Chains A and B, each alone.
Chain A
Amino acid sequence: MSGAAISPGWIVAAVIAAGAAFVDLRLAMLLALWLGAWFVNARLSRLKGPLPRWLVPAIFGLTLLALWELAVRLFGISPVILPAPSAIAARIAGSLPILWADFVQTALKGALTGYVLGCGAAVAVAVLIDRSAFLQRGLLPVGNFVAALPIVGIAPIMVMWFGFDWQSKAAVVIVMVFFPVLVNMVAGLKATEPMQRDLMATYHASYWQTLWKLRFPAALPFLFNGLKIATTLALIGAIVAEFFGSPIVGMGFRINASIGQLSLDMIWAEIAVAALAGSAFYGLVGFIERRVTFWHPSQRR
């Protein structure tokens, strides 16, 4: 494909769009919008520099939103099936206090508490079993196995044990984040090179000095790997656990309740909040990772 000429592919696409106009004008409009945006992106993506890195995905995302809005309006799709982005935005703007309360209940009280406790416990256990090769050989396969199980399934049990409020959600989150973090941390504590350990031996460093000055820093990249995986798991755990019982506040509760009332715009509003919270949470952990493990080759680009 040369830069200036318009390739045959584009011509074919344009012909299809024109053909669609005979079938259904609305379809042709959507197709034309899509092709136009794609054409712009195809051009932009050949440019060098940091601008297209942002602009291209942004245009893509905005195009999807525009298509969605247009499709809902043109075809008159019922809001019970798919509300338009504008309707969702209006709902978000109109229910900020509710969304905020749900966010506090689910993300801060349930997910964050469980995340901190679960990750803390995993790191502590990793350090505790560090001195026993026997325990590690036993716990690691079990941990790896458990990490692949559908742990959200314990939600009904936790709700029975700890009640409807956020404590049961935090308990689910603790179990969900524990094993991925444990497995990563144990692997990280092993990640030192023999030469580095020999160096500590020539200094006659104690076990704790070696742990603190060598093995813990060397384990950080692995730990953050686990911590990042755990952010998503924490939110999932906290939201899904609410499907099994909750007070009348919380993101999972709201989604479940809105289903009954068929107010899909509210569900989408909660999903938008969940997406925002998830990305922000992940971004925060990623930010801390960059600050703490700036020395690691993967961060140095």
Chain B
Amino acid sequence: MKDTTTSAVIEARGLGLTFETNDGPVRALTDVDLSIGKGEFVSFIGPSGCGKTTFLRCVAALEHPTTGTLSVNGMSADAARQARAYGYVFQAAGLYPWRTIAGNIRLPLEIMGFSRADQEERIERVLSLVDLEGFGKKYPWQLSGGMQQRASIARALAFDADILLMDEPFGALDEIVRDRLNEELLKLWARTEKTIGFVTHSIPEAVYLSTRIVVMSPRPGRITDVIESTLPRERPLDIRDTPEFIAIAHRVREGLRAGHGDEV
């Protein structure tokens, strides 16, 4: 195992979150211990309702844990948010329809007070990073779903946060587009060396992308298994047919089944 304790970017200890709802408390997360090192690509996988989104939202300080501690870049999640430490990619692209693609990417830059010249330069850079050169002047609705999702990734990349949090970013896309974007995401990760937290429902996607796979289970939401990937960093798409890949995928499936246990 790498030296994750000293260079942990995200560190959760005994993390728990209980939602107080009208029909009683819902324990969305309990006893989550996890540390994510710099430059790691960590996937979260598990059945619906196991708290994947909730965990990501805690890291982004969009929810506040009720127990345990959480540090991001050595500070509290809220402080990290205020230091603009991460880019968040939601399940849907969520682009503002009244802004062009370039305008959407400019949004965080405006809010964070980047200079005008810097804005233009960054927009150009991230547009080419996600392969959308020349689409800056288009409006979101003029683009396909896959292109919109790439634009939303570009938006998250624009201000150079070193953590990227992605909540099922490709969930709404078809298999072929998804494969392409997966490949591109890996390249991007290799180029930028960001730390990535990635939620998915797809076992192949998780295995293909990650250095580590966190398996979660519901009621109450908790981590049941953490699987270290032995795949090389360089991964062509056909790596998915290798025995090594299939073995890891099998372990993940076993982990999921164990977590489900009595229910399935």
Contact = CB atoms under 8 A, between A and B. Distances in A.
Given A198-B62, A202-B60, A213 B111 contact: yes
Interface string A155-188: 0000000000000000000000000000000000
B255 interface: no
B19 interface: no
Contact of B141 (A193, A203, A295): A295
A215 to B, nearest CB: 11
Interface string B94-129: 101110000000011011100000000000000000
A205 B98 contact: no
Given A202-B62, A203-B111, 16 more contacts: A193-B94, A196-B94, A198-B62, A198-B90, A200-B111, A201-B60, A201-B81, A202-B81, A203-B108, A203-B112, A204-B81, A204-B84, A217-B98, A295-B141, A296-B97, A297-B141
A293 interface: yes
A196 B112 CA distance: 17
B44 interface: no
B97 A199 contact: no
A119 B92 CA distance: 35
Contact of A295 (B82, B88, B98): B98
Contacts of B189: none
A86 interface: no
B111 A199 contact: no
* Interface class of chain A by DSSP: helix
Interface string A191-220: 001011011111111000100011001001
Contacts of B94: 193, 195-196, 199
B51 interface: no
A300 interface: yes
A222 to B, nearest CB: 14
A220 B97 CA distance: 12
A209 B111 contact: yes
Interface in A256-297: 293, 295-297
29 contacts: A198-B57, A198-B60, A198-B62, A198-B90, A199-B90, A199-B94, A200-B111, A201-B60, A201-B61, A201-B62, A202-B60, A202-B62, A202-B81, A202-B86, A202-B88, A203-B84, A203-B107, A204-B82, A204-B84, A204-B111, A209-B111, A214-B96, A220-B98, A293-B98, A295-B97, A295-B98, A295-B139, A295-B141, A297-B141
Given A201-B81, A295-B141, A213 B110 contact: yes
Contacts of A193: 94
A293 B111 CA distance: 22
Contacts of B221: none
Contacts of B92: 195
Contacts of B98: 217, 220, 293, 295
B175 to A, nearest CB: 24
A301 B203 CA distance: 40
A196 B81 contact: no
Interface of B: 57, 60-62, 81-82, 84, 86-88, 90, 92, 94, 96-98, 107-108, 110-112, 139, 141
A273 B18 CA distance: 65
A49 B87 CA distance: 49
Contacts of A214: 96
A280 B84 CA distance: 49
A200 B60 CA distance: 12
Nearest to A213: B107
A271 to B, nearest CB: 39
B141 A217 contact: no
Contacts of B60: 198, 201-202
A198 B90 CA distance: 9
B194 to A, nearest CB: 15
B84 A195 contact: no
B151 to A, nearest CB: 13
A198 B88 contact: yes
B72 to A, nearest CB: 12
A188 to B, nearest CB: 13
Contacts of B97: 295-296
Contacts of B111: 200, 203-205, 209, 213
A199 B107 CA distance: 10
Nearest to B165: A202
B86, B97, B110: most-surrounded residue (chain A CB, <10 A): B97
B90 A195 contact: yes
B201 to A, nearest CB: 18
A198 B156 CA distance: 13
Among A202, A203, A205, A300, the most chain B Cβ lie within 10 Å of the Cβ of A202
Nearest to A296: B97
Max chain B CB contacts within 10 Å: which of A193, A199, A200, A296?
A199
